[in-house]
A = this chain, B = another copy of it.
Amino acid sequence: MELLDTRIDDSLARIVQELATTAERIGAADSDALAATADLIAGARRVFLLGAGRSGLALRMTAMRLMHLGIETYVVGEVTTPAITSADLLLTASGSGTTGGIVRAAETAVNVGAEVAAITTVADSPLARLATVVVLVPAADKLDRSGAASAQYAGSLFEQTVVLLGDALFHALWIRSGETADDLWPRHANLE
């Protein structure tokens, strides 16, 4: 295995295989949670996204697409992100469901009456217990270095899955919107 994996195309094939297995399991077990997450996004006044490290980068990819859909979207920690209030949604991703800053943000969101959606690998985690909807990803979180759940390093499979889940949520919401690609295009940033 290790010898093969020193070829990049073999590594790529392995990653795609892990993602296919993970996506299939999520589809079998969590399609209701995914649908509920899409409904929360569609029904929210504004959507706030928060993840740490690579999960945070994955959610930023999602945030950009939600903005393209015309949804008022904010990444927590950016300069002009306002306070969350009721009628807003906080969409989070944390492999372990224990990341301190994310759990505290979820508590704040719940306290002001906002909804919380969580993508995590641990159903019984502090983050999952705070969330209205939990999408459970059958992948290692980054603290699991056993190699049992994935041949990849740390939380890589989880973080890749967050990228794909965000794009799947976007894709479905886009189809539902009835808008064409040309309708979305004028919303892309034009000052860069």
Contacts and interface: CB of A to CB of B under 8 A. Distances in A.
Interface residues of A, number: 90
Contact of A8 (B48, B66, B172): B172
Contacts of A23: 9, 12-13, 15-16
Interface in A62-100: 63-68, 73-84, 90
Contacts of A82: 67, 187, 189
Interface string A143-167: 0010100011110100110011101
Given A9-B168, A153-B181, 9 more contacts: A5-B171, A9-B27, A19-B19, A48-B191, A54-B65, A82-B187, A82-B189, A83-B189, A163-B163
